[in-house]
């Protein structure tokens, strides 16, 4: 049985919300389900999460739930009707909810005039309209329209992030986060991260609620790039949010930034999700463009831990086809002679890391069929995953939350293990499970990684070579 190493994140939405739709996505390869809290009510998300858990149980596959917080969303006010904003004209921007004048655009952002500077670029509708600040008079901002287009109610507004005072974690985000923690989300992604301290508040809320949850930092602002190493180090993983990166930066810079983020994450030892428009054409088409297929393959070649689908699965016409195609592209890339998982670029900083690397080297030297990690909280599996072995990692845990969390880890296949403190019983169970799945045959070797004493988190200190019998 072929095992895909790069994991597949699928965004849930109306196109795949039914129980059958979720089961089909799991069949197509979904490892992590993203719940986008920019849309939907708490009741809708709660029902969606329950359907996901039921579908996972039906398919006997551990699927993680990723809560993606909305972050600060700035929008225009309302207008009597939609209209065209021509290029080359001068207009006025004001803080407010409504405008009757097509030369006055209201923006729902408190302190607008105080947070912009001369020559700042202000973008509307994902960068389709581009304005430049030419003057500030009290609470009014004068701007020149460099690139015009259609204007309508509640269009998204992109202000320069360096001067914005708004927090990465809004009041809505706090309410959503607490709700997500109460429902048992496996990961939480924070939008609009600018510095490491932005992640600290999320962790504090998780701790206060007794739900320590891994935090994914979405890299999408110039500030985050300037503070990239500290932001990545403060996170449990990062997402290359190419949609907003493509608004903040020229399109030609986005691939370079993506490679930069992957490099830093590799050095700091954090998993990476590459996201946005990976198979965008498949929101309508049954096949991707050749460029999209190459985009996914390049992310896999560069060593990403996961690739993500957004609108393709949430609102697209062919969610299951898109997920299956993404999975096939990744597997084809990993099976090619050009695929070489990036090596470690830093020295091991702990005993568990050193043991994991030793296990990977041992597996390579003896031609082991699998690496097997016994883990309580996922740490052993994560360390082995980040060492990028040439063989799949089967990770056994008695903890269901850990099993779901490991669904995001590169190369890891989570498997449930009965609670026991007897290493021989664990090895016997592992042997029976691998053979029962058709993954191993008598006489084949596997390398085991575990901690002694058994059942203590963070105690990975042992490597054992086991022959299937």
| Cα gap 76→106, rounded to integer Å | 6
How many structural domains does the chain have?
3
In a domain, 454, yes or no: yes
Catalytic residues: 34, 75, 218, 276
Asked if 12 and 314 count as a contact pair (C-beta separation under 8 A), the reply is yes
State whether residue 254 is helix, strand or coil: helix
Q: Do 207 and 95 fall into the same domain?
A: no
Q: Do 248 and 146 fall into the same domain?
A: no
Q: Do 28 and 173 fall into the same domain?
A: yes
Q: Do 198 and 309 fall into the same domain?
A: yes
In a domain, 78, yes or no: no
Q: Do 104 and 14 fall into the same domain?
A: no
| Cα gap 236→216, rounded to integer Å | 6
In the chain, DSSP finds a helix count (H) and a strand count (E) of 16, 21
CATH number of the domain residue 378 falls in: 3.40.1380.20
Of the residues 308, 334, 360, which one is the last residue of a structural domain?
Answer: 334
| Cα gap 313→426, rounded to integer Å | 38
| Cα gap 406→383, rounded to integer Å | 11
In a domain, 402, yes or no: yes
Termini Cα distance of the chain: 20
pLDDT of residue 456: 67
In a domain, 1, yes or no: no
Which of 367, 302, 294 is closest to 340 using CA atoms?
A: 302
Q: Do 362 and 443 fall into the same domain?
A: yes
In a domain, 77, yes or no: no
| Cα gap 376→397, rounded to integer Å | 6
Of the residues 143, 163, 183, which one is the last residue of a structural domain?
Answer: 163
Of the residues 280, 304, 334, which one is the last residue of a structural domain?
Answer: 334
- The two three-digit tokens of residue 460, written as one number: 């990975």
Residue owning tokens 């059958």: 20
* Dihedral pair phi/psi, residue 178, rounded to 5°: -60, -40
* Dihedral pair phi/psi, residue 144, rounded to 5°: -105, 135
pLDDT of residue 461: 83
| Cα gap 91→178, rounded to integer Å | 41
Q: Do 393 and 444 fall into the same domain?
A: yes
In a domain, 346, yes or no: no
pLDDT tens for the chain, 469 residues: list them: 689 999 999 999 999 989 999 999 999 999 999 999 999 999 999 999 999 999 999 999 999 999 999 998 888 999 999 999 999 999 999 999 999 999 999 999 988 999 899 999 999 988 889 999 999 999 999 999 999 999 999 888 988 866 677 788 999 999 999 999 999 999 999 999 999 999 999 999 999 999 999 999 999 989 999 999 999 999 999 999 998 898 888 899 999 999 999 999 999 999 999 999 999 999 999 999 999 999 999 999 999 999 999 999 999 999 999 999 999 999 999 999 999 887 666 777 788 899 999 999 999 999 999 999 999 999 999 999 999 999 999 999 999 999 999 999 999 999 999 988 888 999 999 999 999 988 889 999 999 998 876 766 667 788 999 999 8
- List the domain range (segments joined by +) for residue 320: 7-71+167-334
Residue owning tokens 């596959």: 61
Task: Give the Cβ contact number of residue 464 at 10 Å.
Answer: 14
Q: Do 314 and 440 fall into the same domain?
A: no
CA 199 to chain centre: 15
Asked if 296 and 326 count as a contact pair (C-beta separation under 8 A), the reply is yes
In a domain, 2, yes or no: no
In a domain, 155, yes or no: yes
Q: Do 430 and 378 fall into the same domain?
A: yes
Q: Do 181 and 330 fall into the same domain?
A: yes
CATH number of the domain residue 320 falls in: 3.20.20.60
pLDDT of residue 452: 74
Sort residue 149 into left (φ over 0), alpha (ψ -120 to 50) or beta. left
Q: Do 284 and 371 fall into the same domain?
A: no
User: For residue 41, what is the enclosing H or E element?
Assistant: none
CATH number of the domain residue 142 falls in: 2.40.33.10
Strand partners, 415: 396
Residue positions counted in the chain: 469
Q: Do 109 and 141 fall into the same domain?
A: yes
pLDDT of residue 206: 96
């Amino acid at each position: 049985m072929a095992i895909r190493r790069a994991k597949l994140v699928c965004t849930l939405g109306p196109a795949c919300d039914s129980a059958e739709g979720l089961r089909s996505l799991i069949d197509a390869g979904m490892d992590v389900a993203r719940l986008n809290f920019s849309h939907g009510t708490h009741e809708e998300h709660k029902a969606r999460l329950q359907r996901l858990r039921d579908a996972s149980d039906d398919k006997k596959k551990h699927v993680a739930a990723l809560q993606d917080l909305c972050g600060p969303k700035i929008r225009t006010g309302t207008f009597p009707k939609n209209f065209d904003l021509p290029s080359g004209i001068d207009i006025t921007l004001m803080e407010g909810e409504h405008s009757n004048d097509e030369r006055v655009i209201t923006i729902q952002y408190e302190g607008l005039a105080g947070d912009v500077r001369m020559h700042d670029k202000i973008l509307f509708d994902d960068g389709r309209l581009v304005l430049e600040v030419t003057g500030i008079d009290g609470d009014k901002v004068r701007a020149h329209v460099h690139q015009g287009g259609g204007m309508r109610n509640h269009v998204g507004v992109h202000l320069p992030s360096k001067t914005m005072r708004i927090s990465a974690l809004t009041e809505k985000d706090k309410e959503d986060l607490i709700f997500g923690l109460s429902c048992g989300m496996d990961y939480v992604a924070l939008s609009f991260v600018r510095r490491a301290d932005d992640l600290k508040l999320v962790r504090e809320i998780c701790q206060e609620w007794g739900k320590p949850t891994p935090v994914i930092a979405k890299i999408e602002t110039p500030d985050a790039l300037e503070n990239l190493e500290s932001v990545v180090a403060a996170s449990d993983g990062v997402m290359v949010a190419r949609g907003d990166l493509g608004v903040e930066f020229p399109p030609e810079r986005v691939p370079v930034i993506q490679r930069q983020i992957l490099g830093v994450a590799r050095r700091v030892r954090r998993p990476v999700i590459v996201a946005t428009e990976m198979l965008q054409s498949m929101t309508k088409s049954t096949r991707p463009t050749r460029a999209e297929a190459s985009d996914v393959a390049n992310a896999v070649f560069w060593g990403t831990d996961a690739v993500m689908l957004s609108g393709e699965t949430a609102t697209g016409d062919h969610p299951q086809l898109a997920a299956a195609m993404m999975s096939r592209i990744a597997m084809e890339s990993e099976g090619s002679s050009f695929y070489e998982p990036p090596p470690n670029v830093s020295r091991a900083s702990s005993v568990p890391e050193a043991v994991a690397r030793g296990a990977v080297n041992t597996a390579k030297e003896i031609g082991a069929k699998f690496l097997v990690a016994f883990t309580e909280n996922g740490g052993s599996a994560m360390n082995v995953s980040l060492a990028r072995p040439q063989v799949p990692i089967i990770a056994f845990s008695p903890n269901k939350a850990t099993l779901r969390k490991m669904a995001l880890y590169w190369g890891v296949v989570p498997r449930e293990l009965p609670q026991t403190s007897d290493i021989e019983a664990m090895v016997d169970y592992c042997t029976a499970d691998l053979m029962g799945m058709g993954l191993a045959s008598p006489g084949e070797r596997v390398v085991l990684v575990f901690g002694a004493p058994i059942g203590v988190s963070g105690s990975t200190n042992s490597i054992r070579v086991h022959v299937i019998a």
